[in-house]
């Protein structure tokens, strides 16, 4: 599906070890040792895949199966629960998968074609606002042929559909445990993935054990993994240094990364691995808010925000300014916001507002989550407030909430301006535009653009994702995003894993979706 151009672009997502140790001289005989303990600041918002289009995928990838997935080193979807998948027509509107033989869920129930259809049908039927149903806009229906064959009928050509099936949003669930018309409410989880969820304490801990009935691509290097959830990165780093956790995943601040990379007292026996990230941060403007609905207000903010100062002050060395929703390392990346607005310029911003008859400082509340993207988020928004307030053109109030409450607020349209982060569902430019537009998008804030929709439709007809025509279509879509300023890209990050030197497999643990595959982690028997 990818040509060489796209392969090179997607390859930028591959993990790059900055230390000479993480997994290079490991001994697989270490399997079966005590559980590897992973710390993260990204706790699941729900255990039901039909409700989540967020960091909950970190858990799902390791306990559920999908028809296709991204094995380490792969930049295109490969079979997982499926034995094989392919488009069966010349128009790319019929996609068929044949399941592996003898698949079962961890409770012993059969995983067959009917379970696949049930999984997808319930996502569409429950239709959670801001949930994964937004990924299935091109799907018209699911058909089964016998126990092992499933055909997805699409309303239009969609070359990205195999990528969608490879996301944890399409985690396969047992019809006996997951009702068709409502979310599962017993706080439990049943999957067919590499691990079973032995126990779960919300916001605290998930205990994973190797699934004896698993039949898929993952080569598990350990028997069990404990995931511990932290409210802030300071506590997580402290736990790493005290050896109560073995690995960190997401949430480290720039200062913490820099400090951990230094071989000084307290860092003995630790390593830091860096992956070239495609995660982005951006602002969302709510058109229902009287101030944020005004294009001149949004354009003036875009003219004032100083990304260089932002990443320098808050994310030194661990992020870089972003001038498009499509980040570097992904095909069709441009610098469209810089091309339009150039360097920050308060005088130009003032002129934009005055031409619109806006003479008084614009009052706006910026909302952010306090526990999803790491402890630096609060300082990031403090810096944005400082910049905008200093222009004398804006008066910004900041409000932060824990992710679960924050998510409920933005889905219900309560926030004038709010910050979001995005970790890719799959390594294709489509995934940095399509999720944010349309009536039912991942932001819970409708953004309907007929021209962007047209460009996405055209691009999805092309299975060669690196073709010149596809690049042109995404370039135009990015120009529309600049014209509207409904979304304002801020920065693109790098992902860092800090771990005990006893742990191997770190450099292989991040897949192209930047989701940690915990089965790659294991203890070294010796140096």
Q: Is the dihedral of CA 99, 105, 111, 115 positive or negative?
A: negative
Of 190, 173, 22, the closest CA to residue 106 belongs to 190
Q: Say whether pLDDT at 219 is over 60.
A: yes
Please tell me the predicted confidence (pLDDT) of residue 513.
63
Q: pLDDT tens for residues 186-208?
A: 999 999 999 999 999 999 999 99
Q: Is 80 exposed, middle or buried (0-12, 13-18, 19+ CB in 10 A)?
A: buried
Please tell me the predicted confidence (pLDDT) of residue 466.
78
Residues 6+ apart with CB under 8 A from 499: 22, 240, 246, 247, 248, 270, 271, 272, 273, 506
Q: Give the max Cα distance, the chain.
A: 72
Q: pLDDT tens for residues 166-182?
A: 999 999 999 999 999 99
- What is this structure's pTM? 0.75
Of 75, 187, 108, 169, the closest CA to residue 428 belongs to 75
Q: pLDDT tens for residues 95-130?
A: 999 999 999 999 999 999 999 999 999 999 999 988
Of 516, 526, 504, 517, the closest CA to residue 246 belongs to 504
Q: What is the mean pLDDT of the chain?
A: 89
Q: pLDDT tens for residues 69-99?
A: 988 767 678 999 999 999 998 888 999 999 9
Q: pLDDT tens for residues 267-311?
A: 889 999 987 678 899 999 999 999 999 999 999 999 999 999 999
Please tell me the predicted confidence (pLDDT) of residue 10.
41
User: Residue 474 — very low, low, confident or very high, per pLDDT cuts 50/70/90?
Assistant: very high
Average the pLDDT over each of 88-102, 390-404, 416-430, 510-524 and give the range with the smallest value: 510-524
Based on DSSP, count helices (H) and strands (E) in the chain, helices before strands. 14, 22
CA 466, CA 429: separation in Å to the nearest integer? 10
Of 450, 440, 511, 418, the closest CA to residue 132 belongs to 440
Q: Residue 512 to residues 102, 427, 447: CA-CA distances in angstroms?
A: 28, 6, 27
User: Residue 4 — very low, low, confident or very high, per pLDDT cuts 50/70/90?
Assistant: very low
The count of other CB atoms within 10 Å of the CB of residue 344 is 17
Q: pLDDT tens for residues 356-369?
A: 999 999 999 999 99
Please tell me the predicted confidence (pLDDT) of residue 12.
42
Q: Residue 490 to residues 159, 185, 309, 383: CA-CA distances in angstroms?
A: 29, 37, 11, 12
Q: Which residues pair with 510 in a beta bridge?
A: 516
Of 217, 261, 154, 339, the closest CA to residue 498 belongs to 261
Instruction: Report the pLDDT averaged over residues 440-452.
Output: 90
Instruction: Report the pLDDT averaged over residues 328-349.
Output: 94
Q: Please give the DSSP secondary-structure letter assigned to residue 170.
A: G
Q: pLDDT tens for residues 227-250?
A: 999 988 999 999 999 999 999 988
Average the pLDDT over each of 30-34, 214-218, 512-516, 521-525 and give the range with the smallest value: 30-34
Of 175, 241, 174, 194, the closest CA to residue 515 belongs to 194
CA 477, CA 457: separation in Å to the nearest integer? 11
Backbone angles phi, psi at 271, to 5 degrees: -135, 155
């Amino acid at each position: 599906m990818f040509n060489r151009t796209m392969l090179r672009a997607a390859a930028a997502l591959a993990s790059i070890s900055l230390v000479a140790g993480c997994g290079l001289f490991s001994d697989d005989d270490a399997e079966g040792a005590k559980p590897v303990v992973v710390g993260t600041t990204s706790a699941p918002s729900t255990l039901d895949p039909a409700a989540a289009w967020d960091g909950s995928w970190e858990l799902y990838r390791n306990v559920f199966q999908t028809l296709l997935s991204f094995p380490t080193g792969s930049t295109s979807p490969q079979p997982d629960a499926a034995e094989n998948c392919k488009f069966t027509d010349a128009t790319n509107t019929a996609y068929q998968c044949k399941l592996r033989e003898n698949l079962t869920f961890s409770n012993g129930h059969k995983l067959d074609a009917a379970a696949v259809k049930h999984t997808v049908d319930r996502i569409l039927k429950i239709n959670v606002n801001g949930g994964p149903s937004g990924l299935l806009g091109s799907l018209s229906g699911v058909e089964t042929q016998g126990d092992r064959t499933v055909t997805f009928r699409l309303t239009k050509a969609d070359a990205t559909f195999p990528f969608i099936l490879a996301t944890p949003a399409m985690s396969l669930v047992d019809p006996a445990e997951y009702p068709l018309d409502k979310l599962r409410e017993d706080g439990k989880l049943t999957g067919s993935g590499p691990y079973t969820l032995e126990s779960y304490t919300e916001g605290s801990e998930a205990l994973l054990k190797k699934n004896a009935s698993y039949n898929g691509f993952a080569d598990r290097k350990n028997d069990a993994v404990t995931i511990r959830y932290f409210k802030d990165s300071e506590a997580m780093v402290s736990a790493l240094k005290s050896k109560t956790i073995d690995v960190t995943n997401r949430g480290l601040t720039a200062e913490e990364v820099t400090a951990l990379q230094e071989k000084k007292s307290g860092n003995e026996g630790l390593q830091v691995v860096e992956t070239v990230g495609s995660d982005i941060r951006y602002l969302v403007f709510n058109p229902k808010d009287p101030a944020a609905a005004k294009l001149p207000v949004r354009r003036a903010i875009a003219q004032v925000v100083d990304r260089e100062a932002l990443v320098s002050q808050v994310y030194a060395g661990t992020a870089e300014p972003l001038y498009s929703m499509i980040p570097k390392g992904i095909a069709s990346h441009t610098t469209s916001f810089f091309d339009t607005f150039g360097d920050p310029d308060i005088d130009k911003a003032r002129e934009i507002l005055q031409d619109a008859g806006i003479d008084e400082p614009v009052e706006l509340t910026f909302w952010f989550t306090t526990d999803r993207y790491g402890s630096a988020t609060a300082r990031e928004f403090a810096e944005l407030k400082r910049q905008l307030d200093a222009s004398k053109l804006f008066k910004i109030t900041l409000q932060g909430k824990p992710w679960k409450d924050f998510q409920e607020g933005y889905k219900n349209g309560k926030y004038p301006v709010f910050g979001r982060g995005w970790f890719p569902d799959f390594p294709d430019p489509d995934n940095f535009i399509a999720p944010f537009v349309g009536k039912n998008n991942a932001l819970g804030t409708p953004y309907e653009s007929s021209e962007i929709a047209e460009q996405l439709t055209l691009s999805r007809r092309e299975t060669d994702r690196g073709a010149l025509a596809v690049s042109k279509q995404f370039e135009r879509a990015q120009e529309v995003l600049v014209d509207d300023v409904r979304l304002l890209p801020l920065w693109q990050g790098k992902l860092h894993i800090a771990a005990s030197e006893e742990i191997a497999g770190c450099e292989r643990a991040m897949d192209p979706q930047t989701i940690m595959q915990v089965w790659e982690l294991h203890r070294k028997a010796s140096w």
